[in-house]
Amino acid sequence: MTDQPKPKGGRNQSVKRKNPPKPAEEPGTALWKKVLFVSVGVLFVVLMVVSSMGSSWLNVFQTVKPGAVVMTDVTIRDDQNRPVLTTSETIYSAAIKENRTVFLASPFTVDAGLAYTDPVMTVPIIAPQSGVNYTLFGEEYNAIATGVVGMHPSGTKTVPLDTNVTEERNYTAEEFDQLGGDFGNTSIGDEMVLSFVENPEALYSNTTTPTYALRTTHVVNRTEDSVTLSFSLATADLTLSQVRSQ
C-alpha cells in the first residue's frame, strides 16, 4: 500500500474566511440620512440664534392693548395723498426733491386708546428747521391713538383723520395776500403753510410772548375775488416700532 505524504510539521495553517456580505441599503436611505443630518444642523443654528436674541423676538407676537405706551412712525397725508408731516427721512427726502411742502418729526410716543382732550396738539419739527412745532387737531391725534390698538410691532396701518374734521375757511383776495399768498397766481390744490397761536391767552397779555405752530393747508376753491383753504388732513400711515409697556 502506498504511503500517503504526511503534512510537514510547524505552524498550523489557517484558512482565511471571507466576512459575510453586508446587506445593501435600500434606495433612498442614504439620502434621507443626509436630509436628517442637515435638518438637525439647521435646527441647532436656529436655536442658537433665538437664544442669543433672548425674549425680544417674542415682541412680534404682542398685540397693542388700550393703555399701552407705544412708539410708532407716522406719515400724515392730505386728500391728494401728499405727505405733509412724516417721521420717515426717506419720505421726507423724496418729497423735498419734488419741491413739496413737508416737515420731518421724530417718531410719536402714543398712549394707545387714550383720548386726548385738548383741541390741538403740537409736534416738534426737526426739519427743514428745528425749534418749530406742527399743529395737529385733537381729533386727528385721537385717530392715531385709537389706530395703534390691535397692531403688532413692525405692523402697518393707514387710519383716516378727516372723519370728524372738516375745517375750511374762505379768504378774500386781500386777506389771502396778507397771509403771504399770491392770489393772482394761486390755483386749486396749491399748498400753503399758516401758523396757529399755541397760547392764545398771550395775545391779551403784556407779559407773555405768543408762540406759534405751523399747519399745512391747501386751496380747495377759487373765485374771482376769494379762495377757500382746507385745513383738513386725510390719512396717517402708521408703522409700529415698539411697545414700551402694556
The reported pTM is: 0.73
Per-residue cell: 230: 382746507
Q: What is the pLDDT of residue 55?
A: 47
Q: What is the mean pLDDT of each run of 10 residues along the chain (246 residues)?
A: 51 53 56 53 52 51 90 96 97 95 97 91 93 92 95 96 77 95 95 87 84 92 96 95 84
- Classify domain 60-164+233-245 by CATH architecture: Roll (3.10)
| pLDDT given for residue 190 in this prediction | 95
pLDDT digits (tens, 9 = 90+) for 102-119: 999 999 999 999 999 988
Domain with CATH 3.10.50 in the chain: 60-164+233-245
- At residue 58, the pLDDT reads 47
Quick one: CA torsion of 152, 156, 161, 162, rounded to 10 degrees? Answer: -130
Distances (CA, A) of 217 to 106, 173, 182, 205, 210: 21, 16, 14, 29, 21
Identify the pLDDT of residue 212: 85
